Amino acid sequence: MSIFTGAGVAIVTPFNEDLSVNYDELAKMLDDQIAKGTDAIIICGTTGESSTLTVEEHSEVIRFTCKHVNKRVPVVAGTGSNCTQTAIELSKDAETDGADALLIVTPYYNKATQQGLIDHYTMIAESVSLPIIMYNVPSRTGCNILPATAVKLAKTVPNIVAIKEATGNISQIMDLAAMADGCIDIYSGNDDQIVPLLSIGGKGVISVLSNVAPSQTHDICAKFFAGDIEGSRKLQLEAMNLIHALFSEVNPIPVKEAMNLLGWNAGPCRRPLSPMDASNKEKLIAAMKEYGIL
């Protein structure tokens, strides 16, 4: 059984002005996402600025989210690290604190070999009983999980069950789907490729767009699964300008700006992420207005 089908939100971590975690606002965001149909909460991923959370904050944000969501939808905890042992410790903590699954990014900076990736993921998976989604985003990590590697892990490690594909390389993802033949669930890691990945058997999306358009992103998936391919395609294409605006600067700078524009207290990003460029902010505002959410 899949961890979830549909749209999982890669939710932002709201900060106060002093850059401490704003737990009151996070609780409101979680409730709003669930009320608007989001199918899963992905906490402490890239969009959640996991790389600038301390180890203690990282675990506390996951713990808080699991407790607040209280099994209303699955909570997928981002517990990856470029240090295998750190990832193991974060993953064990997340399991203890009630996470339903783990999202494990490829080890960044180290640039592991394919055998190194197999060892890394196997060691993490063997330390916990939770199902694991591998997160393949070579543009950020400098490390690419090749299709044969993903399939080998899925076939040999029982709790490695899915992959978040954020390569943007449709040909590679097609090869993965063909080689896997259903042995691994595929989630789109790119909001501009939801429908294409669903069309080759994908289970859904781990979405930045869902932060500002949860109902619409849910419906892209729900319509597809209900057989309304044309309706799903229409919603995907209508969102394209907004999606481009949300990635006009490195994620999560634009989406946090968008959340603040919508009246949420998402706060600033932590450095080294900087405030959004004024011209890109204007484009973001225009795209949000065109899409009808501002």
In tens, the pLDDT along 90-131 reads: 999 999 999 999 999 999 999 999 999 999 999 999 999 999
Of 179, 5, 189, whose CA–CA distance to 101 is shortest? 5
Candidate list 121, 152, 164, 187, residue with the active-site label? 164
Residue 172's pLDDT band (cuts 50, 70, 90): very high
Could you give the CA distance from residue 166 to residue 169 in angstroms, rounded to a whole number?
8
Give the H or E element holding residue 283.
helix 278-291
Round to whole Å and give the CA distance between 33 and 25.
Answer: 12
Say if residue 1's pLDDT is above 90. Answer: no
Contact assessment for residue 294 and residue 263, using Cβ atoms and an 8 Å cutoff:
no
Model-wide pTM > 0.95: yes
- Is the pLDDT at 290 greater than 90, yes or no? yes
Q: Is 164 a catalytic residue?
A: yes
C-alpha to C-alpha distance for 212 and 86, rounded to whole angstroms: 32
Among the listed residues 135, 187, 203, 223, the single catalytic one is: 135
